[in-house]
Amino acid sequence: MKISLLLGVALVMCLTVTAQVDSTLFKRTQRDTSKLLLNMDAVYNRPFLSVSKLPVAVGGYVEANWQHLGTDGVSEGHQFQMRRLTLFIASSISRRIKFLSEIEFEDGTKEINIEFASVDFEFHPLLNFRGGIVMNPIGAFNQNHDGPKWEFIDRPISATQLLPATWSNVGFGLYGKLYKDNWVYAYETYLTNGFDD
C-alpha cells in the first residue's frame, strides 16, 4: 500500500502540465518617463488653487505636531508645536516665463523667510534660466522638503546638522532635463551667495 502510494505520488509529480502563456508578458514595454518627477521638480509640484483663467495660483500648507518627550524617566510633558506655515504664489507671466515664491513662517512667527522667489525663462527643455532667491540643489531633502511629503515629525539629521534644511540664496543659473528611453538626464547649476552665518 505504501509503495503504491509513493509510486502514485512520484508519477503525479513527474507529469508535465502546460498552461497558456500570455505572449504580451514577453514584450518589452517602454516606460513613460515624461511624468517622472525628480527632486528638482518639487518647486512646481505643490498644492495650488487657481481661479478660472487667472494666471496666478496660491497654495500652501501648515505643519503642526504634538510630542510627549522623556529621557531617563524624566518627562518634558506634552508639547504642541506650530512648526511652520508656508505660502506659495505662482504665476505664468507668459508661455515661457514663470514666477514662483515660497514664504515660510516658522515657530509661530519667530522666523519669517522668503525661501524661494524666482523667475524662470524656459527656452528649451535642456536650457532654461532661473534667477532670484533659488533653492540650492545640494541634497535631495533641501529641494524636496515640504512637510506634507514626509511621514516623520522631525527632519532628517543630515538635513539639520550637516547641511541646512532649506538652504536658499540670491543667485541665478541654468537648469534642464532630457527624457531618453527609460532615462531622465537633468542638471541644475547656479551662481549664488555663500552661507549667511
Residue range 20-61, pLDDT digits in tens: 556 665 555 555 555 666 767 776 676 677 777 788 888 888
Q: Are 30 and 182 in contact (CB under 8 A)?
A: yes
Average pLDDT of the chain to the nearest whole number: 79
Query: What would the grid cell of residue 77 be?
Result: 510633558
Beta-bridged to residue 56, according to DSSP, are: 91
Q: What pTM does this model have? A: 0.68
The 8-class DSSP code of residue 159 comes to: I
pLDDT of residue 36: 63
Residue range 70-114, pLDDT digits in tens: 888 788 788 888 888 889 899 888 889 999 999 989 887 788 989
In single-letter form, the type of residue at position 74 comes to V
Alpha carbon distance 110, 104 (integer Å): 11
Please tell me whether residue 154 adopts helix, strand or coil conformation: coil
Please tell me whether residue 69 adopts helix, strand or coil conformation: strand
The 8-class DSSP code of residue 10 comes to: H
Q: Are 139 and 165 in contact (CB under 8 A)?
A: no
Residue 17 confidence class, pLDDT cut points 50, 70, 90: low
Domain ranges of the chain: 32-66+80-192
Portion of the chain with pLDDT greater than 70, in percent: 70
